[in-house]
Structure 1
Amino acid sequence: MPMIVNAQQTSPARTYVDRVLEHWHEDEDAEALVQGAQRLTRGEARRRLFRLGHALRRQGLAPGDGVGLFLANRVDSVLVQLAVHLIGCRVVFLPPEPGPSELAALVEQSRARAVVTDPLFARRAADAAGRSSHAPMLLGLGPCEQRCADLLALAAECPAERPDGVPAPGADEAVTVLYTGGTLGRPKLAAHSHRLYATLVDLAEDDPQESGPTVFPAMDPETDRVLAATLLTHGSGHLTSIQALVTGATLVVLPEFDAGAALAVLREERITATMFVPPMLYALLDHPECEPGALPALRRIVVGGAASSPSRLQQAVEVFGPVLSQGYGQSEALGITAFGAEDLAAKGAERPELWRSCGRAISDVEIEIRGEDSTEALPARQVGEVCVRGETVMLGYYEDPSRTAEALRDGWLRTGDMGYLDAEGYLYLVDRAKDIIVTGSTSDNVYSRVLEDFLLTLPGVRNAAALGVPDEEYGEAVQIFLATAEDTDVDPDTVGAAVTAELGELYTPRRTVLLDRLPTTKVGKVDKKALRAAWTSAER
C-alpha cells in the first residue's frame, strides 16, 4: 500500500519524466547519454526508454509497485530508473554498500515486487531476493549467471512508443525510496513524492538571482554536458542526473571513479558541470595532470556529501577558477542549502569563515536551529539541531510510522545534524547527532547502529560502539570499541573478518579497541563523546 502523509486533492499535471521527454523529442540527433564508447542520441534514448517501460510492464508490474534498482553507473541504469517512473512504479534504490543481511532487509522492508540488477551484483541480488517473503522477481540489466530474465533483451522485442494508460501519481504517493541506514534487519527508507521532482525542475529552470542560491547554474541544452561521477543509486548521483536530464543537457556517466580517468573524461567530453564528494575532489587535485587551465570548459563543480576542508576548497578555486559550489542535503531532504560558485568565491575572499559554511537555504526551504526536544528556534550562532521544512523533505520513512513520527514533527524534519546559522542565514555544520560515518573513496555511509547491532551478536562482546575518526585519505575511518566479557579472548582480526563478511568491506574497522567497559552517560547510554575524547588524547 502506498504511504499517505498530509494527502492533498491535486496531482501534478506532468512529471519530471515528461519534462525530460520534451527535450528528447527535440533535435533528435543531439547527444543525450554517454558512457565511454556508448553514445545515445535523444531519439535513441527516448525509444530505448519506451521499450524498457513496456518490458517492465510485460513482467506484470503495475502502477504503485516497488522496483528495486541494484545498479552500477551506466547509461542503461539511468534509463531503467526513468522507465520505472514512466510506468507509474516506485523506484527503490539499492546501494551497493549494505552486506547480505541488510540488503535482504532493505528489499523486504521496501516491498519490492521486482529487483533489477546489474550483472556485477547478480549473485548478491539473488541472495537478497531469495530471503524476502515477497519473493520479488529478478531481472538482469544484461545477461547474468543467476537465473533471471535479461531486461535489455526483453526490451529489444518491445515497441518504441510510449506506454499508455499510466495514472498520474498522487501528490503524496511515494515514488522514490532511498536507503538511509537504520538498525540491523530494520532499515530506514526515506520516501519521496513527485513534489520533490517538481521542485528540482523549478530549481533547474529558475533564475538564481530571483529564486535564491543554487549549486548548478542555469543549463543550456545546446552546450552543457554534465558528468555523473557519484553513484546513481545515491542521492548525489540521482540529483546530478536529474538536473541534467530535465534541462536537456547531455549526461555523461562515469562507471567508476579514478582521478586519472575522471580528468580524461572531464577534458575529452568537454564537461561543463559535475558533482564530487570531498575525497574525489582531493584525489583530482592531487593528480599530476591537474593544473590550472587543464579543463577550460568546466564552469561548475558541486561539492557535497561530507564535510570539506576549507583549505582544499580554496585550492580547488586556485586550480579550476571560481567554479566551486557547495551543497547540503541528506536522503531525508535531498536539497537543503546551496552556496553558488560566484557567491562563494567573492564572499569567501572577504569572510574566510564562509569556506566552512554549506550555504543558505534553497528556494522554498526553511531552516531553524532548535534545542533538544524544543520547537523554538535558537538565536543566530547558537548550536542546535538543524531542522528543515519544504518540498524537498521526505514524506516519511516508508512503512515505518513510528520512526516517521520521531523525525517529522509539525512538518519539520529533525535532520540529526548539529549546526548554527549566522546573521545572514548561512548554515554551519559542527557535528552529527546521527551516528553516520562517512568514509571510503566515494564518501559512502557506514551506519554505526547497524555495525554495533552486529558486533553485539559476536561471542564475548558485551557492548560495542563505532565511531568515525579522522583519516587523511578518506576523511573518516571506522573505529570500534568493544567491552568484552571476563575470561573471554576476543581477537580483533577475527572481529574485523566477521564484520567484513556480514556487512561488507566499507564497514571493516581500521582499529579495534578492547575495554573492560564502555563509558556511559547519566541515562545509561554509551558516551561516545567520552570515547572520542579518549581516542583523541591517546593519539596525541
Structure 2
Amino acid sequence: MIINAQQTTGPRTYVDRVLEHWHKDEEAEALVQGAQRLTRKEARERLFQLGHALRGQGLAPGDAVGLFLANRVDSVLVQIAVHLIGCRVVFLPPEPGPGELAALVEQSRARVVVTDPLFAQRAADAAGRSVHAPVLLSVGPCDQPCPDLLALAAECPAARPEGVPDPGADEAVTVLYTGGTLGRPKLAAHSHRLYDVLVDLAEDETQDSGPGFFPAMDPSTDRVLVSTLLTHGSGHLTSLQALVTGSALVVLPEFEAGAALKVLREERITATMFVPPMLYALLDHPEAVPGALPALRRIVVGGAASSPSRLQQAVEVFGPVLSQGYGQSEALGIAAFGAEDLASEAARRPELWRSCGRAISDTEIEIQDEDSGAALPVGQVGEVCVRGETVMLGYYEDPQRTAEAMRDGWLRTGDVGYLDAEGYLYLVDRAKDIIVTGSTSDNVYSRVLEDFLLTLPGVRNAAALGVPDEEYGEAVQIFLATAEGAEVDPDAVSAAVTAALGELYTPRKTVLLSQLPTTKVGKVDKKALRATWVTGAQDAPLTTVEG
C-alpha cells in the first residue's frame, strides 16, 4: 500500500489509518457538529496544526496530556493530535468532584490539561492543586487566564509534525479514569495494542474472527453518530469506529431524545451507540415509529444492563439493527452480540436477550471462583475474568491495585456472571459496586462516596448502593450509621455530597440507622441491605428521606 510521504516510518498506528482516508477524496465530509462541517482535508490540516500547537507548549513524546473536554468536533481532533505527537492521552471525564479531579490530574502526571471552556473553572482549580503545575489550555476563548489552543493552532503549519518515535510495546498511550478512592483514583492504562485490535475489528469486512459491534463500513456512505462522552470508553470507541474506516463522524454535543432523533434522521446516520437510558428515551419519544430512520443499520447498546423487553421493543421500532457490547475501562472490548445473531438466535433462544454476547476476536472469557481462581464449569456463576490485547497494561502508577486486578494473566473484572454451552456471557451482578445512573448512564463510584460520607460529623459508617429506578436504571441510595446522640440532617448530607462530588452523586434516598449489617469478617453487608431495604421488608429505620 502506498502511504502518504508525510507518514512516519514503522508500524502503522490507528492515526496513520485515519490519515490514509483523509488524504483521499479530500472534499468528503469527515467531521460534523451541527453547522460545523469539516472536509477530510480541513480535518487533516487542523489536526496537524493542533499537533504543532501542543508541541509548542514544550510537550515531548511520552508526556501526559489531560483532556477535560465536552462533545465537540475540536475535541475529537485534540485527542488524535495528542497521539499524533507521541504523547499520552489522559481522559478526564466530568463526573469527579474537585478533590478527585485534582488527584486524577496529579496521579496521571499530566504536563498539560486541555479543557473545554465550559469546564475551565474546574480545570483551573484541579491544575492549581497539582504539584506538577500543568499548563492549562482552552479549546476556544474562556474566562480563565489560559491560552486558546485553537488560536495557537491557527498560527501553526498545516504539515504533519515530524520526529515522532514509535510507541513501545508496553508504553501507556491512553489512560481512562475508572474510579477509586478519594485522593487515589484508579487509572486504566492501555498500550497501542488495544488500538491494533480495535482497528482490526473495524476493518474486518467479514467479521469471521468473532462477533463485532458494527457491520462492515463503507466510507462513501456510512455516517456514525457519537452521542456518549468522548472522554469515556464508549464515546472513544464509537469515534474510532468511524475514523479508522473513513466514515463521517457526527458529534452530538448533548443528548436529548428529540434532538438525537432529528440528527439521526437529517444526517442519515447508519451506525451509533447508546447506553440504555438513551435508548429508552428514544423509544418513548412520539417520533420513534417504524420506518422513521431508514438509513440506520446498527445501534450498539452497552455501558449498563439492558431490559430484555426494551431491547425487543427497539427491534420492533428500528428493525433488526440492535447489537450489544460489553466492556469496561480495564478492557474496552470483551464481548459483543451482532445484530444478525441477536435477530436470529434470540428467536430460537429467548433467554439470549439477557446475554451480552460472546468474546470478541482474540479475547478469552473465563468464569473463575472468586477466591481460588479456579475455572468454573458452564452455567456456574462466578467472577468474569478476561485476557487478551484489549486488557489494560495495569493501573497507572499503582502496582498494588494492578496486582489485585490481575491474576495469572487474567483480568478480574469484578463482574459476576456465567457462560452457557455456546459461549454466551450473562452478567448477574457487579461486584465492584459501581452505580450506573443518570441520563447518560454515568458511573457513581460507591467507595468514593462512602469515603466522603465518613468525613461528615456524626457519621460512623456508610454504605452506598444503586436501587432500581424507572427513569435512570439505578438511583443512588445511602445508608448512614450515626453516632449515639448525633443529629445528622439528611438534607445537609445531600447538600455536602453535591458540593464535594457533584450532582451525579446526590443521593435520591438517605436512610439513618443505629448500625449497618456486617458480614462475618466485619465488612458492611450490602447484599443484606439490598435484600431488606430495597424490597421494603426492613424494620423501621431511624429516618428515611427521599431525595
Deviations for 1:152-180, whole angstroms, at most 9, x for unmatched residues?
00000000000000000001100000000
Deviations for 1:426-451, whole angstroms, at most 9, x for unmatched residues?
00000011010000000000000000
Kept in 2: contact 1:327–1:338 (CA 8 A): yes
Kept in 1: contact 2:174–2:191 (CA 8 A): yes
Q: 1:8 maps to which residue? A: none
What is the rounded CA distance, in whole Å, between the counterparts of 1:411 and 1:236 in structure 2? 25
Q: 2:350 maps to which residue? A: 352
- The unaligned stretches of length 5 or more in structure 1 are 1-10
Identify which of 396, 399, 404 aligns with 1:398: 396
- Cα 1:140–1:395 shift into 2, 3 Å: same
* SS of equivalent to 2:286: coil
Kept in 2: contact 1:78–1:232 (CA 8 A): yes
Identify which of 83, 86, 89 aligns with 1:88: 86
Query: Is 1:471–2:469 an aligned residue pair?
Result: yes
Identify which of 457, 460, 479 aligns with 1:459: 457
Matches within 5 A, 1:365-404: 365-404=363-402
* SS of equivalent to 1:538: coil
What is the rounded CA distance, in whole Å, between the counterparts of 2:349 and 2:24 in structure 1? 45
What is the rounded CA distance, in whole Å, between the counterparts of 1:350 and 1:494 in structure 2? 53
Q: 2:102 maps to which residue? A: 104
Identify which of 281, 288, 310 aligns with 1:290: 288
Identify which of 242, 245, 249 aligns with 1:244: 242
Query: Is 1:132–2:119 an aligned residue pair?
Result: no
Query: Is 1:46–2:44 an aligned residue pair?
Result: yes
Q: 1:425 maps to which residue? A: 423
* SS of equivalent to 2:172: coil
- Cα 1:311–1:46 shift into 2, 3 Å: same
RMSD: 0.9
What is the rounded CA distance, in whole Å, between the counterparts of 1:304 and 1:217 in structure 2? 16
Give the aligned residue type for 1:372: E
**Displacement of 1:408:** 1.0
Query: Is 1:59–2:68 an aligned residue pair?
Result: no
Kept in 1: contact 2:201–2:207 (CA 8 A): no
* SS of equivalent to 2:218: coil
Kept in 2: contact 1:12–1:169 (CA 8 A): no
- The unaligned stretches of length 5 or more in structure 2 are 1-8, 539-547
Matches within 5 A, 1:130-529: 130-529=128-527
What is the rounded CA distance, in whole Å, between the counterparts of 1:20 and 1:207 in structure 2? 17
* SS of equivalent to 2:415: strand
**Displacement of 1:207:** 3.4
What is the rounded CA distance, in whole Å, between the counterparts of 1:424 and 1:515 in structure 2? 46
What is the rounded CA distance, in whole Å, between the counterparts of 2:363 and 2:197 in structure 1? 10
Kept in 2: contact 1:360–1:425 (CA 8 A): yes
What is the aligned-residue identity percentage? Answer: 87
Give the aligned residue type for 2:88: R
What is the rounded CA distance, in whole Å, between the counterparts of 1:246 and 1:394 in structure 2? 21
Kept in 1: contact 2:230–2:236 (CA 8 A): yes
Kept in 2: contact 1:371–1:378 (CA 8 A): yes
Q: 1:73 maps to which residue? A: 71
What is the rounded CA distance, in whole Å, between the counterparts of 1:221 and 1:116 in structure 2? 30
What is the rounded CA distance, in whole Å, between the counterparts of 2:115 and 2:107 in structure 1? 18
Give the aligned residue type for 1:476: E
- Greater Cα shift, 436-445 or 407-416: 407-416
Runs of 4+ in 1 over 4 A off after TM superposition: none
Q: What TM-score, normalized by structure 2, do the two folds share?
A: 0.96
**Displacement of 1:12:** 6.6
Kept in 1: contact 2:298–2:321 (CA 8 A): yes
Q: 1:5 maps to which residue? A: none
Kept in 2: contact 1:208–1:214 (CA 8 A): no
**Displacement of 1:539:** 6.8
- Cα 1:54–1:539 shift into 2, 3 Å: farther
* SS of equivalent to 1:215: coil
* SS of equivalent to 1:149: coil
Give the aligned residue type for 1:459: P
**Displacement of 1:208:** 4.0
* SS of equivalent to 1:342: helix
* SS of equivalent to 1:375: coil
What is the rounded CA distance, in whole Å, between the counterparts of 2:14 and 2:323 in structure 1? 24
**Displacement of 1:538:** 1.3
**Displacement of 1:376:** 2.0
What is the rounded CA distance, in whole Å, between the counterparts of 2:238 and 2:406 in structure 1? 26
**Displacement of 1:354:** 0.1
What is the rounded CA distance, in whole Å, between the counterparts of 1:59 and 1:381 in structure 2? 55
Identify which of 11, 27, 41 aligns with 1:13: 11
Deviations for 1:319-361, whole angstroms, at most 9, x for unmatched residues?
0000000000000000000000010011111111000000000
**Displacement of 1:537:** 3.0
Q: What TM-score, normalized by structure 1, do the two folds share?
A: 0.97
**Displacement of 1:209:** 4.3
- Cα 1:209–1:62 shift into 2, 3 Å: closer
What is the rounded CA distance, in whole Å, between the counterparts of 1:426 and 1:12 in structure 2? 38
What is the rounded CA distance, in whole Å, between the counterparts of 1:353 and 1:41 in structure 2? 45
What is the rounded CA distance, in whole Å, between the counterparts of 1:427 and 1:64 in structure 2? 37
Give the aligned residue type for 1:472: E
Give the aligned residue type for 1:513: V
What is the rounded CA distance, in whole Å, between the counterparts of 2:206 and 2:10 in structure 1? 23
**Displacement of 1:144:** 1.0
